[in-house]
Structure 1
Amino acid sequence: MSEDKTRERWAARPGEEVSEVDNAHRAPSGVIDVPSRLLMGPGPANAHPRVLAAQSLPLLGHMHQPFFKIMDDISEGLRYTLQTKSKYTLMVSGTGHAGMEAAIANLVEPGDKVVVGNAGIWGERVGILSRRYQADVVEIKVPAGQTFSYETLKATLLEHKPAVLFLCQGESSTGTHQSLAGVGELCRQTGTLLLVDVVCSLAGVPIFTDAWGIDCVYGGSQKCLSGPPGASPFFLSERAMEKLQKRKTPPATYNLDMNLIGDYWGWFGKRSYHHTGPVSTFYAMREALALVAEEGLESMWARHQAMHKRLWDGLRGMGLKPFVEKDEDRLITVNTIKVPEGVDWAALVKHAMDTYSLEIAGGLGPTVGKVWRVGIMGYNAKPQNVELVLTAFKDGLQRQGKELPLPEEAGAGAAQPQPAAAPA
């Protein structure tokens, strides 16, 4: 049909006028062009090729039985990855922020007291969200690079007896790893639900959700799980589900109401439409969780630990120091490195990208301008990638006139940077 005939057809519709199409601002055309980069920042990390391939599979309807089977596989994979027997596992349709909001919206009623452990930007945001959901927020803080002691958490819980305690296992803005030892037991003594952020730690460091008495977890798909952004692993314990179902008021969000989303995922013995799940993203996450199961959690945790050690052997060989002083507080999946005096951190980051097509990140929140952040996560946690990071640091520091220690000054056994490898 000609353009004139098309305009005549639409002009015939009562009450509507049809103008000339504005062709001055056409949408993009042609095939998309995306550069190949090695993403060794705090995330997203590079996705596994099998995960990328899964996204090219044919679409299914979001209420088709074959798609329900994929959702069931995801739930089972999450139970293994989180080490839980709870049936209340799923992927929230959205990034880690959506998982964060889902947790607060479903666990917190107006007036509930919530203790928020603020060790960086993620605790800060949970505090903001909790206030928006009309919680009575008690915020405890530690300086950037430190974590909460068991004694501090115990005293706080006994004093406030909150409805919810929030802790971030892996704080990517500061590079800290919060110990959860004994915290779940404390929470049970005070009738408190334990909410934990595992966005950048899930599958990279140990977590035993049932054994540690955790009640709600949200995570990210694009970090150690080696998937695309857009899905948030989510878990509720029986205690958390009981709190949800006994609420005096429904969650203030329809989009993230776990009564409704859980029904879509088959939590209650049936499946009802709530929203159109991100079909291709869920394909990817089914494959990502299958890869976790095939490698085995203990092997994954050991691989991440080994690459963390390899990175720091090399960095210390250049005279660089960790931002987090205590070994036991240091996160192995997102490493924070002190920027030495007189070094332009941004110039080193830019040189790594321009020369090696390699992402190294600067600080975030309380660490802006103070640190570099290097992610060792999932598919990227392998020797050739760590060696390229070390090469970029050595090159970048030398270009700024930074004198590096001689091998004997750096200490025996310190890994020396190798020639650059192609991005993996």
Structure 2
Amino acid sequence: MDISSLSQINPPPRLLMGPGPINADPRVLRAMSSQLIGQYDPAMTDYMNQVMALYRGVFATQNQWTLLVDGTSRAGIEAILVSTIRPGDKVLVPVFGRFGHLLCEIARRCRAEVHTIEVPWGEVFRPEQIEEAIKKVKPRLLLTVQGDTSTTMLQPLEQLGEICRRHGVLLYTDATASLAGNPLETDAWGIDAVSAGMQKCLCGPSGTSPITLSDRIVDQIRKRKCVEEGIRTAQHQQGDEEMIYSNYFDLGMVLDYWGPERLNHHTEATSALFGAYEAARLILEEGLEAGIARHKLHGDAVLKGVHAMGLQVFGDIQHKMNNVLGVYIPSGVVGDEVRHLMLNDFGIEIGTSFGPLHGKVWRIGTMGYNARKSCVMQTLTALEAVLNHVGFKTVQGAALQAAWDHYQASGAHA
């Protein structure tokens, strides 16, 4: 291979205003550029302990086992499910978007008996709908998504923990798209396991998945057997129904690595851990409630601007995430053409959609480092200009004025 034609990595400047990833906070990137240290250096293990403490604050929990799974947000999902689900377990998945289907797929790979209930995309479930399904199915686990970026909807979780405890069900939620931009009270809501990702409201790059586990679910994980070479034969003689077939995602082993035993399992992704540390530190420095309010402020500003352009919004607005908005593509407008013009002429990325919404909806995100007034105003300016350019006429400046009015009424300046 001739490398003389290859240059240093130098990606074009982009303002990422889609459903994720977003632009990482520069302070997170600076933390990630720190030099490496050894895996068992006291400084390194101290950083690991500090990360656990920081993410207890982000998840609003006292769970001892709050840590990082190295890999994208899907790694956190898979680690929890593969370590908890036993072959033949009944699981119930309330599906209201693409990522509910993802939970079903992973659960089936764990050889679970998967049951689903569904609502149309753009809606969420009422607690009584879920409880009725629990009574009928009698699952061991309820697998939920809090915020599904495919529909921009936020599933209420506040009552599900109590329902699950009453029926002897473990409760897991995927909060990849919602954590730190929308309220999530792990302990107060009785959630047994939560996983997230860095590339949305946590203002970092994809590649690390924070998780938190209740004592109740850790007890179940600890009872599972792992398939290590030294015990493989004995396990096959006993039967394989309790085995965890993944070594990398075996949380029983990962907990021993993060715990005081420090038993070797993998080489921790040091740079990613530094970034996750800084992201959580920044969230708690701002204040979790203040950060959620910031996401709502700027998400509502986009909503006001979009309405002022005469565009229609997708889904039940009362249940939308603070940080992502679905917008119907107007009749006669080619959605991808608008996205390409925004990207190529303004350097701004907004999202398309998929499944039943493919070609019908744009998704505009205001999350993490990009939940800022300047980002909102740039995006509204570009979208209005492009829409007029392709023949969808708006009242010039109406979107910006609506956003300005919203910020002025809110007393916000940044």
Larger Rg, first or second structure (1 or 2): 1
Are the equivalent residues in 1 in contact too, given 2:176–2:200 (CA < 8 A)? yes
How big is each residue's C-alpha offset from its partner over 1:145-174, in whole Å with a ceiling of 9 and x where there is no partner?
111111210101111121111111100011
Report the Cα distance in structure 1 between the residues aligned to 2:327 and 2:266, rounded to whole angstroms.
Answer: 42
Shift of 1:405: 4.5
Hey, what does 2:309 align to over in structure 1?
Answer: 318
Q: Matches of 1:159 and 1:36 in 2, distance apart?
A: 52
Whether 1:294 and 2:271 are equivalent positions in the alignment is no
The answer (yes or no) to whether the contact 2:23–2:203 under 8 Å persists in 1 is yes
Match of residue 356, structure 1, among 343, 346, 352: 346
CA deviation map 1:243-267 (0-9, x unaligned): 112336132211011111111111x
Q: Match for 1:360: what amino acid?
A: I
2:100 corresponding residue in structure 1: 123
Contact 1:162 1:190 in 2 (8 A): no
Structure 1 residue 99 displacement after superposition: 0.9
Q: Are the aligned partners of 2:23 and 2:369 in contact in 1 as well (CA < 8 Å)?
A: yes
* Partner Cα separation in structure 2 for residue 221 and residue 83 of structure 1: 17
Query: Which amino acid in the other structure matches residue 394 of structure 1?
Result: E
Cα deviation 1:190-228 (Å, max 9, x = unaligned)? 111111010011100111100000001110011111111
Q: TM-score normalized by structure 1? A: 0.88
The answer to whether the 8 Å contact 2:377/2:403 transfers is no
- Paired position in structure 2 for 1:252: 245
Is 1:159 the counterpart of 2:136? The answer is yes
The within-5 A match list for 1:255-274 is: 255-266=248-259, 269-274=260-265
Kept after mapping to 1: 8 A contact 2:60/2:187: yes
- 2:245, 2:373 → 1: CA distance? 47
Contact map agreement 2:181 2:323 (CA 8 A) in 1:
yes
- SS where residue 48 of structure 2 aligns? helix
* Equivalence for 1:239: 216
Where 2:209 maps in the other structure, the secondary structure is strand
Q: Does 1:223 align with 2:200?
A: yes
Specify the SS of the correspondent of 1:201: coil
Q: Per-residue CA shift, 1:100-125, capped at 9, x if unaligned? A: 11111011000000001111111101
**SS in structure 1 at match of 2:44:** helix
Instruction: Give the aligned residue type for 2:338.
Output: L
The equivalent residue for 1:388 is 378
Alignment of 1:99-114 (within 5 A): 99-114=76-91
**Most deviating of 55-64 and 349-358:** 55-64
Q: Does 1:281 align with 2:272?
A: yes
CA deviation profile, 1:41-86 (whole Å, cap 9, x unmatched): 1111111111111111111122222111111111111100000001
Give the alignment of 1:46-195 within 5 angstroms.
Answer: 46-195=23-172
Distance in 1, Cα, partners of 2:281 & 2:321: 25
Residue 32 of structure 1 and its aligned partner are, at CA, apart by 2.1
Q: Which amino acid aligns with 2:242?
A: T
Aligned structure 1 segments of 4 or more residues deviating by more than 3 angstroms? 24-30, 405-408
> 1:256 and 1:139 mapped to 2: Cα distance?
25
Aligned to 1:209: 186
Q: SS of 2:131's equivalent?
A: helix
Give me the whole-angstrom Cα distance separating, in 2, the residues matched to 1:198 and 1:131: 20
- TM-superposed CA distance for 1:270, in Å, is 1.4
Match of 1:21 in 2: none
Letter in 2 for 1:80: G
- 3-state DSSP class of the match of 2:374? helix
Q: 1:369 aligns with which of 351, 359, 365?
A: 359
- 2:319 matched to which residue of 1? 329
SS of corresponding position for 2:402: coil
Distance 1:99 1:282 in 2: 14
Contact 2:303 2:325 survives alignment (8 Å): no
Task: Give, in whole Å, the separation in 2 of the partners of 1:103 and 1:197.
Answer: 10
Q: Which consecutive unaligned segments of at least 5 residues does structure 1 have? A: 1-23, 418-423
Please tell me the residue identity of whatever aligns with 2:353: G
* Partner residue, 2:391: 401
Q: Displacement of 1:27 after TM fit?
A: 8.2
Q: Which runs of 5+ in 2 are unaligned?
A: 225-240, 406-413
TM-align CA RMSD? 1.9
Q: d(CA) in 1 for partners of 2:354 and 2:290?
A: 30
SS in 1 for 2:393: coil
Instruction: Calculate percent identity across the aligned residue pairs.
Output: 38
- Shift of the alpha carbon at 1:29? 4.9
Distance in structure 1 (CA, Å) of the matches to 2:317 and 2:42: 48
Partner of 1:15: none
Distance in structure 2 (CA, Å) of the matches to 1:308 and 1:156: 33
Q: CA deviation at 1:365?
A: 2.9
Paired amino acid for 2:345: T
DSSP-derived class of the 1:415 partner: helix
